[in-house]
Chains A and B, each alone.
Chain A
Amino acid sequence: MTAKRWFLMLAAAALLVAAAVAGLNILADPFGVFGDRLLGWYAYDMTQNPKAAKVAYIDAHSGEYDAFILGASGSASFSPEKLNEYTGLRWYNAFNYGADMAYTEKLAEYLAGSCEVRQFFLALSLTAAQKYEMPQNGAIEWRPPQLGGAGGWFRFAFANPRFSFAKLRDYRANGYLQEPFDVFVPETGVYDKSSRDVEPIGSLDAYLAAYPEFTTKIGVVAELTRTDECMASVARLKAMCDARGIGLTVVVPPLLDRSLSAYRAEDLADFFAKLGEITPYYDYTRFIPSDPRFYYDTTHFRNCAGDMILADIYGDDGVYVPSGETEETELRVLLYHSVTESGGEDSVSAADFRRDMERLRDGGYTPVGLSDIAGYVYRGAELPERAVLIRLDDGYRDNYEVAYPILREFGYKAVIFAIGVSVGRDVYKDTDAPITPHFTAEEAREMTGSGLIEIQSHTYDMHMVAELDGADCRRGLLRLDGESEADYAAALTGDFLRSRSELEAATGQPVYALAYPYGLHDKLSEVVLGKLGVTATFSSEYGVNTLVRGLPQSLLCLKLWAFG
Chain B
Amino acid sequence: MSFAEPRFLLFLPAALICYFASPKRVRPYTLLAASLVFYWFAGGVFALLVISATAVTVYLTALRLGALRRSDAPKRRRKAPLAACLALNFGLLFLFRYSGRLIPSLGLLLIPGISFYTFQSAGYLIDAYRGKLEPERNILKLALFISFFPQLVIGPISRHSQIADDLFAGHGWNWERARGGISRIIWGYFLKLVIADYAAVPVNAVISSYQNYGGAVIAFAVLLYSFQLYADFAGGISIAIGVGKLVGVTMPENFAQPFFARSLTDYWRRWHITLGAWLRDYLFYSLALSKPLGRLGRVTRRAFGANLGKMIPASVATFAVYIVMAVWHGLSFKTLAYGLLNGGLITLSLYFGPFWEKLRRVTKLDGGRGFGAVFATVRTFVLVVFLRYFARAVSLRAALSMLKRTLLRFEPRALLDGTLGTLGLTAGEYATLAAAIVLLLARDAVAERAVKLGSNFESRLASARPAAQFLLTAAVLALIVYCGVYREGYIASQFIYAQY
Q: A interface vs B, CB < 8 Å?
A: 1-7, 9-10, 12-14, 16-17, 20-21, 160-162
Given the interface pairs A6-B462, A7-B175, the reply to whether A161 lies near B470 with Cβ below 8 Å is no
- In order of increasing CB-CB distance, the 5 nearest A-B pairs are A3-B175, A13-B474, A3-B179, A13-B473, A160-B486
Indicate if the CB atoms of B488 and A20 lie closer than 8 Å.
no
Indicate if the CB atoms of B478 and A9 lie closer than 8 Å.
no
Q: Which residues of chain A are near B463, meaning CB under 8 Å?
A: 1
Q: Closest CB-CB distance, A33 to chain B, in whole Å?
A: 18
**12 further A-B pairs in the complex, CB-CB below 8 A; given A16-B474, A17-B474, A162-B486:** A1-B463, A3-B178, A4-B175, A6-B179, A7-B175, A7-B182, A9-B466, A10-B473, A13-B470, A13-B477, A17-B477, A161-B486
User: How far, in angstroms, from A16 to B478 measured CA to CA in the complex?
Assistant: 9
Q: Which residues of chain B are near A17, meaning CB under 8 Å?
A: 474, 477-478, 481
* A14 CB contact (under 8 Å) in B176, B466, B477: B477
Q: List CB contacts (< 8 Å) of B166-189 with chain A.
A: 175-176, 178-179, 182
Q: Closest CB-CB distance, A166 to chain B, in whole Å?
A: 11
User: How far, in angstroms, from A543 to B463 measured CA to CA in the complex?
Assistant: 81
User: How far, in angstroms, from A16 to B473 measured CA to CA in the complex?
Assistant: 10
Given the interface pairs A17-B478, A21-B481, the reply to whether A1 lies near B466 with Cβ below 8 Å is yes
Indicate if the CB atoms of A1 and B175 lie closer than 8 Å.
no
User: How far, in angstroms, from A9 to B478 measured CA to CA in the complex?
Assistant: 14
Indicate if the CB atoms of B182 and A10 lie closer than 8 Å.
yes
Q: List CB contacts (< 8 Å) of B459-479 with chain A.
A: 462-463, 466, 469-470, 473-474, 477-478
Interface of B is mostly: helix
Q: Is B11 an interface residue (CB 8 A)?
A: no
Q: Closest CB-CB distance, B366 to chain A, in whole Å?
A: 39
Of all chain B residues, the one with the shortest Cβ separation from A16 is B474
Q: Is B482 an interface residue (CB 8 A)?
A: yes
User: How far, in angstroms, from A3 to B458 measured CA to CA in the complex?
Assistant: 12
Q: Could you tell me how many residues of chain B have their Cβ less than 8 Å away from some Cβ of chain A?
A: 18
Q: Which residues of chain A are near B179, meaning CB under 8 Å?
A: 3, 6-7
User: How far, in angstroms, from A161 to B469 measured CA to CA in the complex?
Assistant: 25
Given the interface pairs A3-B178, A6-B462, A7-B179, the reply to whether A162 lies near B488 with Cβ below 8 Å is yes
Q: List 30 A-B contacts (CB under 8 A).
A: A1-B462, A1-B463, A1-B466, A1-B469, A2-B175, A3-B175, A3-B176, A3-B179, A4-B175, A5-B466, A6-B469, A7-B175, A7-B182, A9-B466, A9-B469, A9-B473, A10-B473, A12-B470, A13-B470, A13-B477, A14-B477, A16-B474, A17-B474, A17-B477, A17-B478, A17-B481, A20-B478, A160-B486, A161-B486, A162-B486
Q: B interface vs A, CB < 8 Å?
A: 175-176, 178-179, 182, 462-463, 466, 469-470, 473-474, 477-478, 481-482, 486, 488
Q: Closest CB-CB distance, B160 to chain A, in whole Å?
A: 29
Q: Closest CB-CB distance, A162 to chain B, in whole Å?
A: 6
Q: Which residues of chain B are near A3, meaning CB under 8 Å?
A: 175-176, 178-179
Of all chain A residues, the one with the shortest Cβ separation from B177 is A3
User: How far, in angstroms, from A160 to B481 measured CA to CA in the complex?
Assistant: 10
Q: Which residues of chain B are near A6, meaning CB under 8 Å?
A: 179, 462, 469
Q: Which residues of chain B are near A4, meaning CB under 8 Å?
A: 175
Q: Which residues of chain A are near B466, meaning CB under 8 Å?
A: 1, 5, 9
User: How far, in angstroms, from A162 to B428 measured CA to CA in the complex?
Assistant: 12
Q: Closest CB-CB distance, B395 to chain A, in whole Å?
A: 37
Q: Which residues of chain A are near B474, meaning CB under 8 Å?
A: 13, 16-17
User: How far, in angstroms, from A294 to B481 measured CA to CA in the complex?
Assistant: 48
Q: Which residues of chain A are near B473, meaning CB under 8 Å?
A: 9-10, 13
Of all chain A residues, the one with the shortest Cβ separation from B482 is A161
Q: Which residues of chain B are near A160, meaning CB under 8 Å?
A: 486, 488
Of all chain A residues, the one with the shortest Cβ separation from B476 is A13
Q: Closest CB-CB distance, B360 to chain A, in whole Å?
A: 44
Q: Closest CB-CB distance, A141 to chain B, in whole Å?
A: 15
Q: Which residues of chain A are near B178, meaning CB under 8 Å?
A: 3, 7
Of all chain A residues, the one with the shortest Cβ separation from B176 is A3
User: How far, in angstroms, from A7 to B176 measured CA to CA in the complex?
Assistant: 10
User: How far, in angstroms, from A161 to B478 measured CA to CA in the complex?
Assistant: 11
Of all chain B residues, the one with the shortest Cβ separation from A169 is B428
User: How far, in angstroms, from A438 to B469 measured CA to CA in the complex?
Assistant: 80
Of all chain B residues, the one with the shortest Cβ separation from A18 is B481
Indicate if the CB atoms of A9 and B486 lie closer than 8 Å.
no
User: How far, in angstroms, from A12 to B477 measured CA to CA in the complex?
Assistant: 11
User: How far, in angstroms, from A7 to B182 measured CA to CA in the complex?
Assistant: 9
Q: Closest CB-CB distance, A8 to chain B, in whole Å?
A: 10
Q: Closest CB-CB distance, A102 to chain B, in whole Å?
A: 27
* B470 CB contact (under 8 Å) in A7, A9, A20, A162: A9
Q: Which residues of chain B are near A14, meaning CB under 8 Å?
A: 477
Q: Closest CB-CB distance, B201 to chain A, in whole Å?
A: 16
User: How far, in angstroms, from A162 to B482 measured CA to CA in the complex?
Assistant: 8
Of all chain B residues, the one with the shortest Cβ separation from A21 is B481
Most buried by B among A2, A4, A10: A10
Q: Which residues of chain A are near B470, meaning CB under 8 Å?
A: 9, 12-13
User: How far, in angstroms, from A212 to B131 measured CA to CA in the complex?
Assistant: 80
User: How far, in angstroms, from A295 to B470 measured CA to CA in the complex?
Assistant: 58
User: How far, in angstroms, from A161 to B462 measured CA to CA in the complex?
Assistant: 31
Q: Which residues of chain A are near B488, meaning CB under 8 Å?
A: 160, 162
